[in-house]
Structure 1
Amino acid sequence: MDIMASLSAFGGGLIGYLVPFLFVLTIVVFFHELGHFLVARWRGVKVIAFSIGFGPEVAGFNDRHGTRWKLSAIPLGGYVKFLGDDNAASVPDHDAAATMSDDEKKVSFIHKPVGSRAAVVAAGPIANFILAILIFAGIFMTAGKQITSARVDQVQPNSAAAAAGFQPGDLVVAIGKEKIDSFSDMQRIVSISAGEPLEVQVERGGTQVTLKATPELREIKDNFGNVHRVGVLGISRSMAPGDVKTQTYSPVGAVIAGAQETWFVVDRTLSYIGGIFAGREAADQLGGPIRIAQVSGQVATAGFVALLHLTAVLSVSIGLLNLFPIPLLDGGHLLFYAIEAARGRPLSERAQEVGFRIGLAIVVMLMIFATFNDILHLATS
């Protein structure tokens, strides 16, 4: 399929992609900005605007505190603007700050103690993690979680599992020091361990056997035809009645499981990024808005629960991305505040300006690279 045909097919299903995409992105962005907003109000910062989207305002209203709540024309993010900000990225307006009255200084972001500013900035990513935990917990409480035991049904010939000595009927109980309670637990470790030797403990005929296996890197297609590069052993799970169950959770248990699921997404994301720098992973798996829209539309066909699950995963990813120490992102602001706390005074205006310009360049390059990957993905799908 050539690239024009792929783009045409994407455009033909635009509504099917656009509605789920906007649903997912709006929820994630709203909670991220709500985190900033609530902590800012708590710390006495005047909030000028709360926007979902960028660009010209489409609709909005003013609340009793004078904050302008609005929907903007470009629905690819959002922002909260504080008194003392020069723009939507919370770059400080030093000229305006210097001419503020004493009353304005009391409620301006730039004049707040560094601890208060750091709390406001960190609240956005933290809100994303909390949202993900709550969504996962809600899914586990209402729909439960299907658990398949880590019992081997079949071993593929000439696979890593065959070379390691796996046999049908083996029950994997541990990999290294990690206890394995399900086939999914095993997949999660194996998928990020391509080329790395693993010590696998299996139960075979009532005895413990230790096997050494090195997962192979393979391209796997999901149910929607998307290709993923993951580590595999070459075994299939047992679907016998005794090996499959649906686990239900109490509210507390669901929150704990939700936190564990959130941590898995964080760990998998960091492992993937580390793998790119180490040369173990390909950067072409990085996606941007087009890929998110496509995946949202695909997942929506699997049902509302699946779309909520994607929302939680995306919320974790955005929260984690914003913590990267890149100026313009929340992590870049936190880096500046950490330096300010250590020095006892902020960086010079010139140093901050250079940092923000570098951050803008990095963000733009990442967006271009991700969009390029998205287009290539469409061309080959």
Structure 2
Amino acid sequence: MSSFLYYLVAFAVALGILVVVHEFGHYLAARWTGVKVLRFSVGFGRPLWERRLGQDGTVWAIAAFPLGGYVKMLDEREGEVAPEELHRSFNRQPVQWRMLIVAAGPAANFVLAIVLYWGLFWYGSEEFKPVLGVPAIASPAAVAGLEDGDLVRQVGGEKVQTWQEMRWVLLQRGVDQDQIDLEVINLRNEISIRRLDVSAVRRSGWEGDALERLGFSMFRPRLPAVIGKVNPNSAADAAGLRPGDEILTIDDQEVSSWADVVSAVRQSPGKPLLLEVMRQGATTQIPVTPAVVDEEGRAIGRIGASVSNTGQARAQLMTTVSYGPLPALGKAVVETWDKSAFTLRMIGKMITGEVSWRNISGPVTIADYAGQSARLGVDYYLKFLALVSISLGVLNLLPIPILDGGHLLYYLVEIIKRGPVSERAMEIGQQIGLTLLLMLMAFAFYNDINRLFSG
């Protein structure tokens, strides 16, 4: 499957799940309160498939434009309602039931995130340890005195076990603080506190990859350049390379570790390379031409050989994180709450100008993340799905007319003034909400296009 098609499928599956869960929340709440549901649609526009099911004859449909969906309920404002069904009309329900139905969509997204995180924390997943590579020259990480091989144990006083946890806590702390203390243990087993200055990244509005701008990179163990496995019918196999061969030079350039081999091969797609190899105490020269492989639209070289002694590297780089069923559920709830609250904080800081609007992602970037996470494995894809589900839930609760949060705002006003909001006020609100939403979408698309061309 081509990269484009793979990413498109990963995005479509994620979007389909999120839309179905969100709308199913509305549907279940409507059924529970006795409201008749006329149509359940995944997508907008012309239906590609539809079927009438259930005692109420609800039409279930998949439509042509997939970015969203809706649940259409019996409502006097949208058509004539038979007298015997007036009690099942949405607009005839008490305001608290209408609020429940509207809030159930975003709530379903939060529940989905909790369930996904719960399963992941309970089942356990193998993740990268927060072990740092060589910091970029003159970067905040280098100025702080961080070194190659440092294992980060605490960020701002909070313990971290994985690279993603470190990234998340750094972002949380860095949004409000200029300096963050990191507790690290180096390769000599010495524990120290390093003060990281994140003020420059804060002033830039946290635009781009924050860890990269801070000078962070993952640790790369210096494994000997010894071949552990040769794939059948690969370039290495055709050249005569064997397990146990130690690569000494490539095109007369000395090789000090397996990372040098990977770098030279990746940079030489289709270009012949001359390897000097140590085999059973004797040296020999072996020419090999790396195969041309497409990676994210860029041609790289690959010979089909892997390094020996990967167990040592895995032990240095990876850790398995898992919890019991109850602790996993508690952590899932906390994770969902923290990410929801942080999303709201970031939106607030975008409005005040403290965080760049370039951080907003559109469908192209989300599709890219979907594909990347799917390639990394099921657990990464489920984490991506949980995060986007949280974002969708928070976005829909914003008090913007046309979104669920806008409808909840109308109902809150109705409770306060003890009467429904006028049709004229709702009409104006819908126009304002639609304008804001279109502006947000346009900005997200602009960011997507800008990332495509600028990288």
Alignment TM-score, normalising by the size of structure 1: 0.80
- Deviations 1:317-370 (CA, angstroms, capped at 9, x unpaired): 111110111111000001111111111111111111111111111112212221
Instruction: After superposing the two structures, state which structure 1 stretch, 316-325 or 293-302, moved more.
Output: 293-302
Deviation at residue 60 of structure 1 after TM alignment:
1.8
Asked if the contact 1:195–1:214 (Cα under 8 Å) also holds between the matched residues in 2, the reply is no
What is the distance in 1 between the residues matched to 2:110 and 2:56?
28
What does 1:155-234 correspond to in 2, within 5 Å? 157-164=137-144, 174-176=154-156, 178-180=158-160, 182-192=162-172, 193=174, 196-200=177-181, 202=183, 212-215=195-198, 216-217=200-201, 228-230=208-210, 233-234=214-215
Asked if the contact 2:184–2:194 (Cα under 8 Å) also holds between the matched residues in 1, the reply is no
Match of 2:171, as an amino acid? Answer: S
What is the distance in 2 between the residues matched to 1:21 and 1:237?
27
1:72 match: 63
**Aligned to 1:110, what secondary structure does the other structure show?**
helix
1:6 match: none
What is the distance in 2 between the residues matched to 1:30 and 1:201?
42
What does 1:97-108 correspond to in 2, within 5 Å? 100-108=81-89
**Aligned to 1:228, what secondary structure does the other structure show?**
coil
1:38 match: 28
What is the distance in 2 between the residues matched to 1:16 and 1:316?
24
Pick closer, same or farther for the CA change 1:291–1:167 going to 2, 3 Å.
closer
Asked if the contact 2:154–2:182 (Cα under 8 Å) also holds between the matched residues in 1, the reply is yes
Of 312, 320, 325, the residue aligned with 2:394 is: 320
1:249 corresponds to 2:249: no
Of 7, 15, 30, the residue aligned with 1:25 is: 15
Deviation at residue 288 of structure 1 after TM alignment:
1.9
Deviation at residue 77 of structure 1 after TM alignment:
1.1
1:348 match: 422
What does 1:239-318 correspond to in 2, within 5 Å? 241=315, 244-318=318-392
Of 105, 117, 123, the residue aligned with 1:142 is: 123
What is the distance in 1 between the residues matched to 2:195 and 2:109?
38
Pick closer, same or farther for the CA change 1:210–1:374 going to 2, 3 Å.
closer
Instruction: After superposing the two structures, state which structure 1 stretch, 360-369 or 252-261, moved more.
Output: 252-261
**Aligned to 1:191, what secondary structure does the other structure show?**
helix
Of 24, 43, 49, the residue aligned with 1:59 is: 49
2:242 match: none
**Aligned to 2:91, what secondary structure does the other structure show?**
coil
**Aligned to 1:346, what secondary structure does the other structure show?**
coil
- Deviations 1:215-262 (CA, angstroms, capped at 9, x unpaired): 2429xxxxxxxx933256545677884785312222223222322332
What is the distance in 2 between the residues matched to 1:203 and 1:374?
36
- Deviations 1:289-336 (CA, angstroms, capped at 9, x unpaired): 232233323333323333322222211111111011111100000111
What is the distance in 2 between the residues matched to 1:244 and 1:208?
20
Deviation at residue 178 of structure 1 after TM alignment:
4.0
- Deviations 1:92-137 (CA, angstroms, capped at 9, x unpaired): 54xx4xx645432210111101100000000000100111111222
Deviation at residue 49 of structure 1 after TM alignment:
0.4
Instruction: After superposing the two structures, state which structure 1 stretch, 45-54 or 309-318, moved more.
Output: 309-318
Q: Give the alignment's Cα RMSD to 1 decimal.
A: 3.2
Asked if the contact 1:144–1:249 (Cα under 8 Å) also holds between the matched residues in 2, the reply is no
1:15 corresponds to 2:5: yes
- Identity level (%): 38
Count of aligned pairs = 351
Match of 2:17, as an amino acid? Answer: I
Deviation at residue 29 of structure 1 after TM alignment:
0.3
Deviation at residue 69 of structure 1 after TM alignment:
0.9
1:3 match: none
Of 401, 404, 409, the residue aligned with 1:335 is: 409
1:84 corresponds to 2:86: no
Match of 2:86, as an amino acid? Answer: K
- Deviations 1:190-217 (CA, angstroms, capped at 9, x unpaired): 2351683235263779999765432242
What is the distance in 2 between the residues matched to 1:77 and 1:313?
17
* 5+ long unaligned stretches in structure 2: 222-312
What is the distance in 1 between the residues matched to 2:35 and 2:319?
50
Asked if the contact 2:125–2:379 (Cα under 8 Å) also holds between the matched residues in 1, the reply is no
Of 87, 94, 97, the residue aligned with 1:116 is: 97
**Aligned to 2:90, what secondary structure does the other structure show?**
coil
Rg larger in 1 or in 2?
A: 2
What is the distance in 2 between the residues matched to 1:308 and 1:141?
13
* 5+ long unaligned stretches in structure 1: 1-11, 86-91, 219-226
Alignment TM-score, normalising by the size of structure 2: 0.68
Instruction: After superposing the two structures, state which structure 1 stretch, 180-189 or 115-124, moved more.
Output: 180-189
Instruction: After superposing the two structures, state which structure 1 stretch, 54-63 or 29-38, moved more.
Output: 54-63
Asked if the contact 1:176–1:198 (Cα under 8 Å) also holds between the matched residues in 2, the reply is no
Pick closer, same or farther for the CA change 1:242–1:34 going to 2, 3 Å.
same
**Aligned to 2:5, what secondary structure does the other structure show?**
helix
Match of 2:454, as an amino acid? Answer: T
